[in-house]
Every structure is written in C-alpha cells, then in structure tokens.
Copies of this chain bind each other. A is one copy, B any other.
Amino acid sequence: MGIIRKTQSIELLLSEFSNSTGAISAIELIKRLSAKVNKTTVYRVLDKLEDDGVVHSFLDKSGIKWYAKCNSCTHAQHFDSHPHFQCLNCGKVDCLEIEVALPNIPNRQVEVSQILIQGNCESCSK
C-alpha cells in the first residue's frame, strides 16, 4: 500500500528528490534529514514512494541502497529498467537514459536485469 496522507516527512523526502538530479542513497537521506525525520520513517517513506512509482531503487557495488526519481512510473508499473552509473572518483550516482540490448540467453527466460556501470563521471574525467 502506497502513500495515503501528505505528511511532513513525505514532503521533506520529496523535496530532497526535486532538488537533485542524480540518485541519493538511503544513508545520505537519513543523514540529511536526521534532525527532522527518524531513520525508520525515512526507510518506510521510501518504500511507499517506490510502491507508488515516484522513485525507484537499486543497490550499488557495496550493496547499499540508492533511490532516484521515476519518470513515468505508477503504482501499477515501473518502467525504470535503465543502467546506473557510479563515479569511482566523486561517488555520484545517476540514471543512464539508455537502452542496453541483452543478447538472447539460451534456455533462460529473462525477467529483470540490473546494470551498474562504474567509472569516471563528466566532471571527474578531465
């Protein structure tokens, strides 16, 4: 079940995402909002936002959770199956709006795929 009431915590989380282009880790959000929102609430709100198609989540190489805004997802369907890029220098993570074509895999039915690419971002590759 998604979001039903417009509460302060939800507004605060949403404004973090609207002030940001890239992805934000759950840990970073907890840190940023620590004065105003409890970490349990942060996790719970993120869950609900994801459930509603407002944000999507993925894990980085060290297994921690990141969230980014969705473009046109709904409670019924998530379309965000794009790769994510993590800069090995500055740590920034963002969504790549590109399609990666997976070759056919013999005898296997593909349902989902997650692609994490690491390297140097635009600002860090000079």
Listed in ascending order, the chain A residues whose CB lies under 8 Å from chain B are: 59, 61, 63-64, 83, 85, 88, 96, 98-103, 105, 107-122, 125
Min CB distance A23 to B, Å, is: 15
A99 vs B111: C-alpha distance when bound (angstroms): 19
Is A125 a contact of B105 with CB atoms below 8 Å?
no
User: How many subunits of this chain does the assembly comprise?
Assistant: 2
Of the residues B101, B107, B114, B125, contact of A108 by C-beta under 8 Å: B125
Is B116 a contact of A120 with CB atoms below 8 Å?
no
Is A115 a contact of B113 with CB atoms below 8 Å?
yes
Min CB distance A13 to B, Å, is: 22
A112 vs B115: C-alpha distance when bound (angstroms): 11
